[in-house]
Amino acid sequence: MDQQPPEDQDGSAAAGGPPTCYRHPGRETGIRCTRCERPICTDCMIEASVGFHCPECVREGAGTGRRPAARRPRTLSGGRVTADPRLVTKVLIGINLAVFVAVLAGGRPLLEDLLLFGLAGGEGVAEGQWYRLVTSMFLHQEVLHIAFNMLGLWWLGGPLEAALGRVRYLALYMLSGLAGSALTYWITDPAQGTLGASGAVFGLLGATAVLMRRMNYDMRPVIVLLVVNLIFTFTWGGIAWQAHVGGLVAGALIAIAMVHPPQERRNLVQYGACALVLAVVVMAVLIRTAALT
């Protein structure tokens, strides 16, 4: 039988560190067995009708039929563990694809109604059309553009959604995209239209790097991916690098607040970080709008 490290009541190691798998003490985790409440890693968790069970509880349950009551397990950031950890990611991909099809059907007029334009004296954010900061995040014109962004959303989004929980993951995605839109609006020519989910996807990339560092995983793959994407960002023509950089920075900062605060102040730090990023976005848009008008 595997030896268990001493733990306190919430599953943290005796030294007060973050929860680690009771069968693999070197692996930090945010998932607990719904029967015995012990923390378990992804290699040990066994899917059940509600949440996940550890191997020992599965064996005991098979022999005795007993099902002790337990609280719903939580992720590393405090979110709920769900049966479908990619649901929000699927919905986001569906929205992007639906908007893409709608633009193909609606043509140029609909595209221009949703683009991120700054402008002054025309139709854009400076004229009060703040919705463009959001609609442009779900807007694509080329097949390759939406294909690359949706692949990135699927590869990065699923694991992040499972680690953060649905609400925190959605907040990360939307705020990263808004930060990318705000930096684009701040810097670029107001008559230059921009579009795409790249800012939000870069936010997921920054958050992935933070999460992998937090879990002590090998950082080399994500570093290579980040470097390659930044090279394309600054060397490939027609790319709004402001959206990429804004999303990347916002995503990394929000992820730090999501996975690093102590449990007793976790919600305060997480909500505070999201509110701060949103406040910076609003302030940047207000200042830029005042300068344009």
Q: So which residues are the catalytic ones?
A: 198, 244
CA 194 to chain centre: 22
Q: Which amino acid is at 274?
A: C
Beta-carbon contacts of residue 256 (< 8 Å; ≥ 6 apart): 210, 273
Tokens of 135: 């609609």
For 7, 140, 178, 210, 263, the CA distances from 16, given in Å and listed in that order, are: 9, 47, 37, 21, 11
DSSP 35: T
Beta-carbon contacts of residue 119 (< 8 Å; ≥ 6 apart): 125, 126, 127, 190, 191, 292
Longest pairwise C-alpha distance within the chain: 75
- Judged on CB neighbours under 10 Å (0-12, 13-18, 19+), 191 is exposed
As a whole number of angstroms, the distance between CA 29 and CA 168 comes to 17
CA 198 to chain centre: 13
Tokens of 191: 């008559």
User: What count of residues does the chain have?
Assistant: 293
As a whole number of angstroms, the distance between CA 163 and CA 133 comes to 27
